[in-house]
Structure 1
Amino acid sequence: MPVITFEYQDLKNLGIDIKKEKLIDILPMLGSDIEDFDDETIKVEFFPNRPDQLSIEGVSRSLKGFISQEIGLPNYPVEESGQKVYIDKEIENIRPYIAFALIENVDFTGNKLKEVMDFQENLHWVIGRDRKKVAIGIHNADVINSPYKYIATSPDENSFIPLEHLNALSPKEILEEHDKGTKYAKLLSKFDKYPLILDKSDNVISMPPIINGELTKLTENTKNIIVDVTGTDEKAVNQTLNIICSSFGEVGGKIKSLEIDYQDRTVITPDLSPKIRNVHVDVANSLIGIDIDAKKAQTLLSKARMDSKIINDNELQVKIPSYRIDILHEVDLVENIAIQYCINKIKGEVPDIATVANENSWFKSDKIIREVMIGLGFQEVMSLMLTSEKSHYTKMKQTEDEHVEVSKPITIDRTMIRKTLLNSLLEFLEDNKHEDLPQKIFEIGDVLYIDNKKETNVKTVKKLAGAICHSTANFTEIKSTIASILENLGYEMTIDSSENPTFISGRVANVKGTSPNGDIKGFFGEVSPEVITNFELEYPVIAFEIEFL
């Protein structure tokens, strides 16, 4: 999860004079986990559903409400700048959406510049999915001029000096030579043209989502900034800009809007007007387990930095600030009432429910499988269904395909739901490579496939996978192992050739099994040396995976 570090003095500078001990008690109540602290600084981990709290300004705003120092909807006026952004039609098939803001009277002295950069990178991860969905650029507004242009350029045109570089490079050269270019080249590699943001004089401001230009580099002396947010999801793009503008507005930044001129419409950004949603007192009381009236609910919502109007004894109309992108349902407002009521004050109750437990039929066969695997000398491991594209595809030398993504991942290595068990087994071997060899591990677990025929659009499949690691592990051993497993489980086995990039070519096979109770399919073989190296293993690995049909 995102972690921010700030000094107690930072809160004092923002008008909050609170003792360290009280602060440490309060922060977990706001949806955070304190990682570490000393006499001067505190390191706090915030849940990704509250990206507005990933800056010291956002933390300060929430704290002021919780301790009733400032309550109600914050007001961040937005003036018109008179500036425009023109959108090239060719960009719509690459990275089609953009939002702009001009913010004047900013302060980057001391640690502020680093804090803003950290805030930007945290948003890149939490909302932007590592820049794939949303990317942010922050520029010195005093060295560029409106109108701005968002264009698609050929790979060898519009060379510019990228940030932290001495020489001008073409967009193609940036993707091949610059550190940021090579890291994020995959985001643009399938396109024939690349996005650029230019100013009135055709100076390159940015190559989203890769790198900003050196021309607009921020320094401690920068006083006015342009913020651009580009992406593939217009809602996420605008939400991200609102969070950034609100953070600067909290410390006196003067926010000005720009006119975004698409081919078929005109949009003004940012739009910091609040959303409206109703909440019912009886719903809040029932879900939380408390007994409050509409007036008390209004007070608690004010502490959550929202304005509300009492419609009747049981209903309130709530104004939700634009930076609160986590408020999607009435239940989210109830959660905020509970937080401000104080979670520690809510008494737990044992539900008045009687149940009779039975073993789930989905897991009945697992006991037999475990007995077989343990009898063959394997040890069982259990891993999370969540993994990452890097571990699941890149490190396994597999091509990324359709899969279930986590919309708001808690950690960067848990961004998707697995379709295979093998990478988890290799991660386990990596974590335990200091242990004695041989190592023989297996896992019985569920995976998820996209299936649009299902009501939920996904299909759950049970799999069994195993891996063996030692100095002489080879194809003959894993073939013998899979044959023993299937025979003991009552399957008739057939094998044929396979081309699986995770394994050594010629030392991998597909396997099928039939039995009166159902069929299986899968594969087994010697893991490729490149995959072994990707997981920092030092000895040969053989593995198998079968799917129960």
Structure 2
Amino acid sequence: MPVITFKYQDLKDLGIDMEKDELIDTLPMMSSDIEDYDDEEIKVEFFPNRPDNLSVEGVARSFKGFIGQETGIPNYEVTPSGEYVIVEDEVAEIRPYIGFAKIDGVDFTGDKLKYIMDFQENLHWVIGRDRKKVAIGIHNADVVKAPYKYIATPKDENSFVPLEKDAPMTPQEILTEHDKGKAYAHLIENFDKYPLILDADDNILSMPPIINGELTKIKEDTKNIIVDVTGTDERAVNQALNIICSSFAEVGGKIKSMEVRYTDKTVVTPDLTPQEINVHVDTANQLIGGIDIDASDIKELLQKARFDAEIIDENELKVFIPAYRVDILHEVDVVENIAVQYRINSIEAELPDINTVAYENDWFKAESTIREVMIGLGFQEVMSLMLTNEESHYEFMNQPEEDHVQVSRPITIDRTMIRTSLINSLMEFLEDNKHEDLPQKIFEIGDVLYMDESTENNVRLSKKLAGLICHSSANFTEIKSVVTSIVSNLGYSMEISDSENPSFIYGRAADLTGEAQNGSIKGFFGEISPEVITNFTLEYPVIGFEIEFVKE
């Protein structure tokens, strides 16, 4: 999860005058975790669902509400700039959406420039999915002029000087020679043309989602900026722009909107109009439990969460949610904020109103045994989300796409389905940890969901165990020995047969079945295919296995 670092003095400069010890005790109560701190600065981890808190300005805004120093929706004035950007049709096939804004009167002195760069990269990860979905550019507005153009250019035309270089490069040269270009080339290299943002004099601001131009580089003395956000998801583009603009406004930035002119429509960005959701008093009391609050109490708590609210009647309120709070999708999300502001530690624990006492499920007892076996074999446990996406789950793993449970309203493009296998999540983990020492030995015990028309709800939940090993000499013999040890220690018999699993090297993979008193197992193991390894940008051999537990 994203971690931000700031100094205690930064909070004081933003109007929060609190002793360090009290601050350390209070921050975790507003859904954060203290990673580390010393006499001057603090590292705080926030859940990815709160990207608005990934800047020190956002933290200060939320904290002021939590302690009652400032309440209600912050009022950010947005004035028209009179400027616009023209979106050419050809760019629609590459990255079709763009949001534009001007912000005057910014301050990048001291550590502020570093903070905004860190903020930008955190948003690239949380909302942008490492720039695939959303990419952000921040430019010096005083060296360019409107109107702007968002175009698709041939690979060898429109040379410009990219950041940290001193000579012009073509878009194709940037993808093959520049460090950022090589890192993010996979996002656009399969297209015949590449996106560019130009000003009225054809000066190039950036080549999204790869890199900005040196011409508009932000420096400590920069006072006025342009923020561009491009991407494949219009909603996410606007969300990222709203978060950035709101953060700058917290420290005095003057937001100016710009028109985005598509062929078939014109959109004004940013749009900071609050969202409206109704919340019910009985729902809040029931979901939180251990409390008894009325409509006026809820209104006060919501204002501390930096929302506004109108009481409709004794059981219902209309809640106004600021545009930067992109995590609020449903009434239950509002109730969560009520609970946080009430302070979780103040909620009295209650036994549920049922006539039985809970005991540990037999399967979770078995999980403990499996975990002990895997740790004893030198593996480290990984816990990933059940949600994944078709590209990673099927295409990257060389698997044919089968019937699966899809998410009807996915929040992000990389969380569109519920997994039927654990292997691709482990491969993603290895991809994210290429910088760690080898060998890497990881495992996961988790649920998967299959389509099954024989059940009442047409789905079937199943438990699986999967593991991967990555090092320079990983081979079939090693993974067979590991799987044999696992199956034996869990009390199962095992039979193996040839496998044609396309995720593995043909001839170096096997299917397995096994029996025990309380059920059976089935699965596979072997050497991961080089093509799959390349799909996840790994550089060393990977071996792995997956076992499904079938209850009697």
TM-score interval (norm. to shorter): 0.7 to 0.9
Cα distance in 1 for residues equivalent to 2:104 and 2:145: 14
User: Does the Cα contact within 8 Å between 1:104 and 1:255 map onto a contact in 2?
Assistant: yes
Match of 1:347 in 2: 348
C-alpha distance after superposition, 1:10-50 (max 9, x if no partner): 12211221121221122111111111222221111111111
SS of the aligned residue for 1:186 comes to helix
Query: What does 1:82-481 align with in structure 2 at a 5 Å threshold?
Result: 82-288=82-288, 289-355=290-356, 383-386=382-385, 419-421=421-423, 424=426, 446-447=447-448, 462-463=463-464
1:191-239: per-residue Cα shift (whole Å, max 9, x none)? Answer: 1211111111111101111100000000111110000001111111101
Instruction: Give me the identity figure in percent.
Output: 59
Deviation string, structure 1 residues 399-455 (Cα, Å, up to 9, x no partner): 69879999789xx9xx99683449859979x999799xxx9x987654567999999
Task: Compute the displacement of 1:361 (Å).
Answer: 9.3
Alignment partners' CA distance in 2, 1:149 and 1:458: 48
SS in 2 for 1:149: strand
Structure-1 separation of matches of 2:137 and 2:473: 52
The residue identity in structure 2 corresponding to 1:384 is M
For residues 90 and 277 of structure 1, do their structure 2 counterparts lie closer, same or farther at Cα, with a shift above 3 Å needed?
same
Change (3 A) 1:490 1:263: same
Matched-pair contact (CA < 8 Å) for 1:109–1:221: yes
The 1:161/1:38 distance shift into structure 2, 3 A limit, reads: same
What SS does the corresponding residue of 2:166 show, helix, strand or coil? coil
Q: 1:157–1:461: structure 2 CA closer, same or farther, 3 Å change rule? A: farther
CA distance in 2, matches of 1:320, 1:452: 41
Which of 505, 515, 524 is the equivalent residue of 2:526? Answer: 524
C-alpha contact (below 8 Å) 1:71/1:304 kept by paired residues: yes
CA contact (8 A) 2:439 2:469 kept: no
Contact 1:57 1:251 in 2 (8 A): yes
Q: What's the counterpart of residue 55 of structure 1?
A: 55
C-alpha distance in 2 between matches for 1:82 and 1:453:
61
1:522·1:545 contact (CA, 8 Å) conserved in 2? Answer: yes
Q: Say if 1:20 and 1:151 are closer, same or farther in 2 by CA, change over 3 A.
A: same
8 Å contact kept, 1:492–1:515: no
AA at the equivalent of 1:190: N
Write the distance in 2 (CA, Å) between the matches of 1:455 and 1:178: 55
Query: Which deviates more, 400-409 or 192-201?
Result: 400-409
Change (3 A) 1:453 1:128: farther
Are residues 490 and 220 of structure 1, via their aligned partners in 2, closer, same or farther at CA, if it must alter by over 3 Å? closer
Asked if 1:42 is matched to 2:42, the reply is yes
- For residues 449 and 180 of structure 1, do their structure 2 counterparts lie closer, same or farther at Cα, with a shift above 3 Å needed? farther
- Kept in 2, the 8 Å contact 1:199–1:205? The answer is yes
The residue identity in structure 2 corresponding to 1:250 is: E
TM-score by structure 2 length?
A: 0.80
Give me the whole-angstrom Cα distance separating, in 2, the residues matched to 1:351 and 1:3: 36
Alpha carbons 1:422, 1:545 under 8 Å: kept: no
Are residues 152 and 226 of structure 1, via their aligned partners in 2, closer, same or farther at CA, if it must alter by over 3 Å?
Answer: same
Cα–Cα, structure 1 residues 294 and 493, in superposed 2: closer, same or farther, change >3 Å? Answer: closer
Moved more, 355-364 or 338-347: 355-364
Residue in structure 2 matched with residue 19 of structure 1 by the alignment: 19
- 1:495 aligns with one of 498, 506, 517: 498
Describe the SS at the equivalent of 1:259.
Answer: strand
In structure 1, C-alpha distance between the alignment counterparts of 2:82 and 2:542, rounded to whole Å = 63
- C-alpha distance in structure 2 between counterparts of 1:221 and 1:469, whole Å: 47
Equivalent-residue separation in structure 1 for 2:276 and 2:193 (angstroms): 41
Structure 2 residue identity aligned to 1:335: E
Q: Contact 1:385–1:418 at 8 Å: present in 2 too?
A: no
Cα distance in 1, alignment partners of residues 538 and 287 from structure 2:
45
Q: Cα deviation per residue 1:61-115 (whole Å; 9 max; x = unaligned)? A: 1122122222111111111111011011011111111000000011111111111
Contact 1:308–1:319 under 8 Å retained in 2: yes
Name the SS of the counterpart of 2:11 in structure 1. helix
1:101 alignment partner, SS class = strand
Contact 1:84 1:146 in 2 (8 A): yes
Tell me if structure 1 keeps the 8 A contact 2:143–2:216.
yes
> Aligned AA for 1:226?
I
Distance change in 2, residues 1:379/1:264 (3 Å): same
Per-residue deviation, residues 159-193 of structure 1 (Å, max 9, x unmatched): 11101111111111111111111111111122121
Q: Structure 1 residues 348, 175: CA separation in 2 closer, same or farther (over 3 Å shift)?
A: same
Q: Distance in 1 between matches of 2:217 and 2:547?
A: 53
User: For 2:311 and 2:470, how far apart are their aligned partners in 1?
Assistant: 66
Distance 2:331 2:357 in 1: 33
Partner of 1:205: helix, strand, or coil? strand
Counterpart CA distance in 2 for 1:84 and 1:452 is 53
Number of residue pairs matched by the alignment = 527
**Does the residue aligned with 1:57 lie in a helix, a strand or coil?**
helix
Q: CA deviation at 1:524?
A: 2.9
Look up the equivalent residue of 1:36 and give its one-letter code. D
- What secondary structure does 1:191 align onto? coil
**Contact 2:135–2:208 at 8 Å: present in 1 too?**
yes
Change over 3 Å in CA distance of 1:449–1:260 after alignment to 2: farther
Decide which moves more: 199-208 or 333-342.
333-342
- Unpaired segments ≥5 residues, structure 1: none
Normalising to structure 1: TM-score of the pair? Answer: 0.81
* Structure 1 residues 114 and 417, CA gap change in structure 2 (3 angstroms): farther
Q: How far apart, CA to CA, are the structure 2 residues paired with 1:459 and 1:422?
A: 20
Quick one: which amino acid aligns to residue 58 of structure 1? G
Answer yes or no: is the 8 Å Cα contact 1:452–1:458 preserved in 2: yes
Q: How far did 1:383 drift?
A: 4.0
Paired with 1:85 and 1:302, the residues of 2 have a C-alpha distance of 37
- Aligned partner letter, 1:524: G
Q: Is the 8 A contact 1:229 1:240 kept in 2?
A: yes
TM-fit CA distance, 1:518:
8.4
Call closer, same or farther: CA 1:114–1:458 in 2, change over 3 Å. Answer: farther
Q: Which has the larger radius of gyration?
A: 1
Q: 1:457 to 1:181 in 2, by over 3 A?
A: farther
Contact 1:496 1:511 in 2 (8 A): yes
- Once residues 32 and 317 of structure 1 are traced to their aligned partners in structure 2, the CA distance between those partners, rounded to angstroms, is 27
CA gap of 1:510–1:283, structure 2 versus 1, over 3 A, is same
CA contact (8 A) 1:48 1:408 kept: no
Task: Classify the secondary structure of the residue corresponding to 2:173.
Answer: helix
Q: Out of 397-406 and 213-222, give the one that drifted further.
A: 397-406
